[in-house]
Structures are given as structure tokens and as C-alpha cells.
Amino acid sequence: MKSMITHPINNTEQLASALREYRRTQKISQQALATAAHVARRTITNAESAENVGLKEFCRIANALGYELALRPKAMVVYEELTTIFKDDN
């Protein structure tokens, strides 16, 4: 079962951490993920360490884990963020 993202990932350290967490949650080794994503295992290591990895490779990795990368304007509100925007302060 996929974990739900409750907020956007907006920096490379968060993306690296989330990638590692998703891979481990699905109990996939770095080598198995690399094979599924058609990238080198070193690319997985780099991605999970917030090192320089190309956007194409990140998309392949995310897709192999059952996710996708999406770009959206910063000011756009998504459904998952509504509870934080309209939280009850009582």
C-alpha cells in the first residue's frame, strides 16, 4: 500500500528521503529498483543521497515505485493541503 503524501516535497533532501522511504516500504533493494527503472544502481544511491540526478532518471525511479513527479505553481492549493489551510484553531 502506498503512503499518502500530505504535503508537497519542495527540496532535494525531502525528495531523497521520501524516495528512500518509499523504496524501503515496498521492500525493494536498490539494485531491484535500478533494474525496474532502467538506471544504474549508483543513480539510486545518488538520488537517495540528494546528489545530482537527472530529471529523466528521477521520473524513471518514481514511475518504477508507482509514483510520478509533477510540477505545479507554488501558489496552487491541492486537495491534500486543504486541512492545513482550513484547520480549526479552536
Task: Give per-10-residue mean pLDDT for the chain (90 aa).
Answer: 53 86 94 97 95 92 89 72 67
Domain extent for 51: 12-85
Give a yes or no: residue 1 inside a domain. no
Q: Is the dihedral of CA 43, 28, 62, 76 positive or negative?
A: negative
Give a yes or no: residue 61 inside a domain. yes
Residue found by looking up cell 486537495 in the block: 79
Give a yes or no: residue 80 inside a domain. yes
Give a yes or no: residue 4 inside a domain. no
Classify burial at 28, counting beta carbons within 10 Å of its beta carbon; exposed 0-12, middle 13-18, buried 19 or more. middle
- What's the whole-model pTM score? 0.71
What is the tally of structural domains in the chain? 1
Give the orientation angle of helix 55-64 with respect to helix 30-37, to 10 degrees: 110
Give a yes or no: residue 5 inside a domain. no
The CATH number assigned to the domain holding 80 equals 1.10.260.40
pLDDT at 11: 76
